[in-house]
Amino acid sequence: MTVRYPGRGRRATPVTAVDEVSFELAAGETLALVGESGSGKSSTATAVLGLRRPEGGRVLFDGQDPYRLPERELRLLRPAFQPVFQDPHGSLSPRQHIQDAIAEPLRVQGRWHPVSGPRRVAELLDIVGLAPEHGRRRPHELSGGQCQRAGIARALAGEPRLLVLDEPVSALDPTVRAGVLELLTRLQHERGLAYLFICHDLTLVRDFAHRIAVMRAGRLVETGPVARVLTRPTHSYTRALLDAVPTGVLTEHTHPPRR
Ligand SMILES: Nc1ncnc2c1ncn2[C@@H]1O[C@H](COP(=O)(O)OP(=O)(O)OP(=O)(O)O)[C@@H](O)[C@H]1O
Ligand SMILES: [Mg+2]
């Protein structure tokens, strides 16, 4: 797909943020999208989420192009692909209680029921490691990590198959970060979720992702299994990214492949 933004000003030239990028993502798989700031990672995510129609190319979700579906069918499909963003507090409405934020997808889908609804919300809070009491708070009354867990609970409410994780742990402390990544790993194993994981930190990518796609200036310069790309990159830009990681950090302990 190709994603272009109109330029600013009178004689503005459009910005090609994503330039004929192509990749596949399977159920149960994590594809890490890496690359320097401005390389087009979030723009790719936005198109995958059905939020901005690509100028060229297509997004196929189980063979269906969300952008070609009638509005009503898109509304039913949309819960299947959900975002989790970087800013834990900013991605939830500040006025809304956490339990209402989690309930919202159920209401939107017409699946809310006065008895089973609250039970489902309690269950979702529990799944992400939050207490019922956290549900009665507002985002600013939770820590960053708790907030991110609430965001994940909300994303799970619609029974998603794909989560688009745009730097989901970048704003968190290392210990909190590990807990959230563990939760995501467990959810993936239990539910066969696919993750498009945008991340700057190659050490996290090594431990969390199965495959890597490296973007530079809107183009995909290299994709492959994590172990191969991180040890034997074929593109000079990937090598430069790896050279930016302090010596030894990526090689000092080799994790067994996750599958
Ligand atoms: N709404 C927009 N209007 C115009 N240009 C945009 C818009 N959003 C992004 N861009 C431009 O598109 C390019 C890609 O931006 P994008 O946000 O996708 O990069 P990114 O890889 O996610 O960067 P970062 O790591 O900093 O989040 C950049 O040149 C950016 O300036
Ligand atoms: Mg971004």
CATH number, domain containing residue 211: 3.40.50.300
- Ligand number with the minimum distance to the CA of 19: 1
Residue 217 within a domain: yes
Q: How far, in Å, CA of 169 to CA of 179, rounded?
A: 10
What pLDDT score was predicted for residue 259? Answer: 46
Helical (H) or strand (E) element with 73? helix 71-77
Q: How far, in Å, CA of 135 to CA of 81, rounded?
A: 23
Residue 124 within a domain: no
Residue 151 within a domain: no
Q: Is-contact 15 4, C-beta < 8 A?
A: yes
Residue 126 within a domain: no
Which protein residue's CA is at the shortest distance from atom 27 of ligand 1?
37
Distance 36 CA to ligand 2 centre (A): 9
Please report which confidence band the pLDDT of residue 246 belongs to, taking 50, 70 and 90 as the band edges.
Answer: confident
- The yes-or-no verdict on residue 150 having pLDDT over 90 is yes
Atom of ligand 1 nearest to the CA of 40: 18
Number of domain units in the chain: 1
Residue 141 within a domain: no
Residue pLDDT, tens place only, 29-84: 999 999 999 999 999 999 999 889 999 999 999 999 999 999 888 888 888 999 99
pTM value > 0.85: yes
Structure token pair of residue 252: 């000092």
Please report which confidence band the pLDDT of residue 254 belongs to, taking 50, 70 and 90 as the band edges.
Answer: very low
Which protein residue's CA is at the shortest distance from atom 12 of ligand 1?
17
Residue pLDDT, tens place only, 4-19: 999 887 778 899 999 9
Distance 153 CA to ligand 1 centre (A): 27
Q: How far, in Å, CA of 233 to CA of 29, rounded?
A: 21
Residue 93 within a domain: no
**257: DSSP letter:** P
Q: Across all residues in the chain, what is the average pLDDT?
A: 91
**157: DSSP letter:** H
Which protein residue's CA is at the shortest distance from atom 4 of ligand 1?
5
Three-class SS state of 170: coil
Residue 171 within a domain: yes
Strands 194-198 and 211-216: unpaired
Measured at the CA of 216, the angle between CA 212 and CA 219, to 5 degrees, comes to 85
Three-class SS state of 187: helix
Residue 5 within a domain: yes
**51: DSSP letter:** S
Please report which confidence band the pLDDT of residue 257 belongs to, taking 50, 70 and 90 as the band edges.
Answer: very low
